[in-house]
Structure 1
Amino acid sequence: MLYEQDQVMQAFKIYSILAINGKGNKDDLRLYIADDSIRGLVDQFAHEVECTLLVVGDVIYMVPLALNSPFHVSNETIKTKHLPSRAVNADIYMMYIAIIILFGEFYDSYQSTEATRDFIRMDDWLNSVNDKLLSLKDYDREKLMELEKKYEYNWIAIIDKWDALDDIKENVQQTARTISRMSFMNVVKKFLEEQELVNEIGNREIQLTEKAKAIIQRYYMELEYNREILEFIYSLEERKGESDASHI
């Protein structure tokens, strides 16, 4: 399909705004909505850098779909900008697991394509993470090493890192410097807030944003690699139930 020079320039202008800011107001980028040719060009530009565009309410978001996208938040950036000093890769993996579990709490363990709750308390999120990591500890070390190869997650390091966090002071007022499980969850929450994926609504309760819901529903649960990880983590619920029942 041939495009006029003006269409190409208009499309590139819209793409540039989205690339720089990660989002744009629909009214400011009205040609993306109104002109099929310009929208097609902008979508092509985004596709070339492994991104997709989501229209959510009055906002257009540019969302990276692949790790090799230049717009994907790198592990190094997460370590230096979002995690405490001296963070290692295990901290990043633990953050990923906490996020997967959080999303699952809203989508009935990923069995539903629509959110099944409006909010979650930080304590409940923490307890869910703790329960699943405790279930993971039931595997012997050899089995965990097999799972590491299969899912490319360092499960042993994640368990060790979680165990090392101080949970004695969980009921004490937390600060950003407190080395505890809740303080780590607060770090993850802050990261998600900066990515516009959650909002805190008071009383230590958080809710998903419309951006998060769009990403989860349209892409997150559909990727084959993600699907396997999600199914494995939520199979830990069944494993825990079986383990508990064995003591009856």
Structure 2
Amino acid sequence: MHYQEDKVLDAFDLYTKLARDGKAGIDAVNLYKADDEVRSLADRFAAHVDCVLILAGDEILMIPETRLSPFHVNNDYIKRTYLRSGATNGDIYLLYFATIVLFGSFYDSYQTQEPTRNFLKLDEWVRAVQERIEVLREHDEETIRSYEKEFSYNWSLIIEKWEAMNDIKESAKKQTGNTISRLSFIHTVRNFMIDQELIEEIGNDEVMLTEKAKAIVQRYFMEVEYNKGILEFLYQWEEESHAID
């Protein structure tokens, strides 16, 4: 297919802004929606770097689709920027796990395209992670190993990392240098998700999902070919979905 020069330049300008900022505003959204050729070209430019373009409210976002993308946030960066000295891949797995749990806390099934709650308190988030850990612990080692192969998540290490943390208040007077509380870890995950523009603080230790997060959940977490199996596994939504169907 041959494209007019002005269409190519418009699409490249859009891609350049997205590559620089990760998002573009309403003018870009209108152009992307209105012009099929610009949209097709912009999508192709993004796909070339393993990214996908997603509309989220009045913004268009460029989201890395695989770890091969140069725009993917790599584990070493997360360790250096957010986690304490000596952090391992296990801490990264737990951070991702806590992120998935937060998303799951805002939705009650695959029948729901919009969040079923407006905000989540940090202490509720801690309890939600603990509940999911307890669900994992109900399975025997052989079952856990089979789930690790199926979902490519090291569930055993996630359980170990969470249970090694101290379930103490942030205001506690005595903490050893090697002690980290579960609430403290959730604060770390919160900071990561705020920087990634996935959640916003609204005061009183409460957070809400951004339009970017909602778009990502709808695109990836609610689609069969992506992460549906993981949320089914953690939240047992499958039985509920079938019952509703």
In the other structure, the counterpart of 1:68 is: 68
1:201, 1:110 → 2: CA distance?
26
Q: Name the SS for the 1:207 alignment partner.
A: strand
Q: Is the 8 A contact 2:29 2:58 kept in 1?
A: no
In the other structure, the counterpart of 2:242 is: none
1:232, 1:30 → 2: CA distance?
39
| Cα RMSD for the two superposed structures | 2.4
1:25 Cα offset (Å):
1.8
Q: 1:203 to 1:51 in 2, by over 3 A?
A: same
1:138, 1:34 → 2: CA distance?
51
In the other structure, the counterpart of 1:12 is: 12
- TM-score normalised to the size of structure 2? 0.86
Q: Name the SS for the 2:166 alignment partner.
A: coil
* Higher RCO (CA-CA < 8 Å; seq separation 6+): 2
Q: Does 1:190 find its partner at 2:194?
A: no
Q: 1:185 to 1:66 in 2, by over 3 A?
A: same
- TM-score normalised to the size of structure 1? 0.85
CA displacement, residues 134-169 of structure 1 (integer Å, 9 cap, x when unaligned):
232233333322322222211121111111111133
Q: Is the 8 A contact 1:221 1:227 kept in 2?
A: yes
Structure 1 runs not aligned, ≥5 long:
239-248
Q: Is the 8 A contact 1:132 1:233 kept in 2?
A: yes
Which runs of structure 2 are paired with 1:17-56 in the superposition (5 Å)?
A: 17-27=17-27, 31-56=31-56
Q: Does 1:210 find its partner at 2:215?
A: no
1:224, 1:15 → 2: CA distance?
26
1:121 Cα offset (Å):
0.8
1:218, 1:145 → 2: CA distance?
28
Identity %: 51
CA displacement, residues 181-232 of structure 1 (integer Å, 9 cap, x when unaligned):
0111011111111111100101111100111111111332215341111111
Q: Name the SS for the 1:200 alignment partner.
A: strand
Q: Is the 8 A contact 1:170 1:181 kept in 2?
A: no
Q: Name the SS for the 1:166 alignment partner.
A: coil
2:217, 2:205 → 1: CA distance?
23
In the other structure, the counterpart of 2:122 is: 122
In the other structure, the counterpart of 2:160 is: 160
Q: Which aligned segments of 4 or more residues in structure 1 are displaced greater than 6 angstroms? A: none
2:75, 2:191 → 1: CA distance?
16
In the other structure, the counterpart of 1:2 is: 2
Q: Is the 8 A contact 1:122 1:204 kept in 2?
A: yes
In the other structure, the counterpart of 1:201 is: 202
Counting matched residue pairs gives 235
Structure 2 runs not aligned, ≥5 long:
240-245
CA displacement, residues 71-121 of structure 1 (integer Å, 9 cap, x when unaligned):
221222222222222111111111111111111111115452221111111
1:139, 1:28 → 2: CA distance?
48
1:170 Cα offset (Å):
4.8
Q: Name the SS for the 1:224 alignment partner.
A: coil
Q: 1:65 to 1:122 in 2, by over 3 A?
A: same
